[in-house]
A and B are shown apart, each in its own frame.
Chain A
Amino acid sequence: MSTIDHPAPAHEIRERFGFWKRSYAMLVKEFIQLRRDRVSFAMIVMLPVMQLLLFGYAINTTPHNLPSAVLLQEDSDLARSVLKALENTAYYRFIYEVHDVDEFDNLLKSGKVLFGVEIPRGFERAVRRGDKPALLVAADATDPVAASAALGSLGMIVQTALAHDLYIGNPPEMPFEIRAHARYNPAANSSLNIVPGLVGTILTMTMLIFTALSVTREVERGTMESLLSMPIKPVEVMFGKIIPYVLVGFVQAFLIIGIGVFLFGVPVLGNLFLLALLSTLFITTNLSIGYTISTLVQNQLQAMQMSMMFFLPSILLSGFMFPFAGMPNWAQYVGECLPLTHYLRIVRAIMLKGASMPNLRFDAAALVILMLVAMTIAVTRFRRTLD
């Protein structure tokens, strides 16, 4: 091994474009580290694909083939055709036929069935007389989402059942009338709504965690001490750490939308370029928030916990899980402070309604403001010393 036997050739230091050079140095370093971390790298692709498939296929807010029971107190042709019509909607699947009220109640109470239909004695005769008899449908409404769609379909079902019944013919007056009109998603296909929502949710989760860990990782690995002793400024560290993940986020958004379009048949009615542009804005906003978290916490565990603290309200109050307009006022105010709320409006509007920039001005501006606030906090919170 040779010791140093010739002085180092002096390399010139140039001050010009220092900001860009130092940000670039950080960016290259982050990219290399990301590429070396095989597990994280695989997660970039695996996470969105897995979540999308799970949400798209397994989680269905308009569930079908719900277990049901019928309390049949009259065995008439009309009763049979009503049941047949109910089963034809594919919402109900009759697995019990009972003749006793107690048994009927127990099935519902125990959760063995979600719906119970009671056909009263003398049903057919009452209908023929025009007495408008009551057809009781008891629903286990503990899961309102599961029940509501099935309940909503009832009105039409009874109509069609009656209309097609030979004994009745075409009654001049319908027993009752409910008119449902599902705009944008007439088939009540939940993946149409879920896929655009998932673009935002998945991006929030992955982007937050990637940057939330970035500063604490440097501290825990001991590299922060060296980094701080070098002439690099907090803004440069931030840009160097955020930019690589903008690309990562872009790949993820592309994957989710691609799968949504090709596997779930979700349309993209609006401008794809606008969607890409606003998605990049949303990705950067989330990365800034994640980075802010990493300047506030002391270790990686805290970073994960704080990310979850931000992620949960994002899911619950953004309109991803529950309709935004249905939330109380205070929840709506909180929701307006979350980037996901604005992005959900943007992505749903562009993909499903073909909206253009003038429609989305407000939400785009909100994302810019949230991003700038996060970046300001991060830069001021970044500790230049080890104090």
Chain B
Amino acid sequence: MNASNDIAIDVKGLTKSFGGREVVHDLSMQVKRGSIYGFLGPNGSGKTTTIRILCGLLTPDSGEGTCLGYDILRDAEKIKRQVGYMTQRFSLYQDLSVRENLEFVARIYGLADARGAARDMIKRLGLSGREEQLAGELSGGWKQRLALGACTLPSPKLLLLDEPTAGVDPKARRDFWNEIHALAADGLTVLVSTHYMDEAERCHEIAYIAYGHLLTHGTVEEVIAGSALTTYTVTGEDLNGLTAALTGKPGVDMVAPFGTSLHVSGRDVAALEASIAPWRDKSGLHWHKSAPSLEDVFIELMGRSKDNFQ
């Protein structure tokens, strides 16, 4: 342990290729202890690979760093004892009951009273009465809950959650996030990957990764401010026609419908305003300048990174 006692994850220059294709490129990141760190990016951007490298499931081709103060290359076994990893696909035993799954995990981690620990966790998860139900027969929301319970059972210091709420209804998602915040309040560090913007906004810090490159990171406000994006929100008639007219104009980087309004964004304010000038005073259209949403920022980043890396 050193001065970075309040840093849970500290990695530099991680690179990983599969069959000649670079999935993670020169990725560096730092995650503070007790924080919730959101990992965002399109499908296939390298989020899962990065998480697997952090918990020792994959060996990086190059790069170095520490996880909970342990070297990610040499101390994988020590890291495994203190990290709870929730996989993207449900990876508990479907043909084992809720209780049997939890007891299995408890025994593997060497808990002194495996049965007691499983019993307490079932109570905590609100799964009492379902303990003998097979894990495979649980609904999606309950499966996520059970999986989270299984990885928090051995009291880890770091949780790695890979798209934990994919395919879960909004109520279960909110409950899930309340739990994550409760766990972080107890001092647990959480790294969570997600596609949902509302979830990203519940993280203390976020990072955006695309095509293996970490494009931006910081708090939500920092990421939005750092994007230097100007967004105009338009409401009114014939927005479809307006979309067609504005797309591809100089300075207009993105035109995206949001319900009954349209978001028109660009990084070059002067060019953007010149391009939209002919429509500004058109009757039936209402323009106002607004802060870009996180989604605007990410979609713009994604569009830009596609040009750079593909």
Seen from chain A, the residues whose Cβ lies within 8 Å of a Cβ on chain B are 1-15, 18, 21-22, 24-26, 28-29, 32-33, 36-37, 221-226, 228-232, 384-387
Contacts and interface: CB of A to CB of B under 8 A. Distances in A.
A6 B59 CA distance: 37
Contacts of B113: 11-12
Pairs of residues from A and B, 6 with the lowest C-beta to C-beta distance, nearest first: A25-B107, A226-B91, A229-B85, A11-B117, A3-B178, A12-B112
A29 B100 contact: yes
A9 B59 contact: no
Contacts of B77: 231
Given A3-B182, A22-B108, A230-B105, A222 B154 contact: no
A385 B58 contact: yes
B116 A33 contact: no
B155 A8 contact: yes
5 contacts: A11-B106, A14-B112, A22-B108, A26-B108, A225-B57
B182 A11 contact: no
Given A12-B112, A33-B93, A231-B109, A387 B59 contact: yes
B107 A22 contact: yes
A229 B56 contact: yes
B110 A222 contact: no
A223 B100 CA distance: 15
B110 A221 contact: no
Interface stretch (B27-35, B119-127, B203-211, B251-259): B119-127
B81 interface: yes
B57 A32 contact: no
Contacts of B106: 11
B104 A28 contact: yes
B108 A230 contact: yes
A12 to B, nearest CB: 5
B175 interface: yes
Given A13-B112, A14-B111, A229-B85, 7 more contacts: A8-B121, A8-B124, A21-B107, A32-B100, A36-B96, A229-B57, A230-B109
B89 interface: yes
A230 to B, nearest CB: 5
Interface residues of B, number: 52
A12 B107 contact: no
B169 to A, nearest CB: 12
B87 A4 contact: no
Nearest to B160: A229
B179 A21 contact: no
A3 B179 contact: yes
A32 B155 contact: no
A123 to B, nearest CB: 74
B111 A25 contact: no
B93 A13 contact: no
A26 to B, nearest CB: 8
Contacts of A229: 55-57, 80, 83, 85, 87
Contacts of A225: 57, 87, 89, 91
A8 B110 contact: no
Nearest to A3: B178
A1 B175 contact: yes
Contacts of A13: 109-112, 154-155
Contacts of A18: 110
Contact of B85 (A36, A221, A226): A226
B90 interface: yes
B92 interface: yes
Contact of B126 (A2, A222, A384): A2
Interface string B47-58: 000001001111
Interface in B160-195: 175, 178-179, 182-183, 186
B110 A37 contact: no
Given A230-B105, A231-B77, A29 B93 contact: yes
Contacts of B112: 11-14
A28 B56 contact: no
A15 B106 CA distance: 13
Nearest to A9: B120
A25 B83 CA distance: 19
Interface centre among A7, A14, A225, A226 (most CB of B within 10 A): A226
Nearest to A8: B124
Interface centre among B80, B107, B186 (most CB of A within 10 A): B107
Contacts of B201: none
B6 interface: no
B144 interface: no
A11 B105 CA distance: 13
Contacts of B104: 25, 28-29
Contacts of B175: 1, 3
Contact of B56 (A8, A221, A385): A385
Contacts of A226: 85, 87, 91-92
A211 to B, nearest CB: 17
Nearest to A11: B117
B293 interface: no
A6 to B, nearest CB: 7
A3 B186 CA distance: 15
A30 to B, nearest CB: 10
Interface centre among B104, B106, B125, B134 (most CB of A within 10 A): B104
Nearest to B134: A36
B61 to A, nearest CB: 10
B95 interface: yes
Nearest to B117: A11
Contacts of B91: 222-226
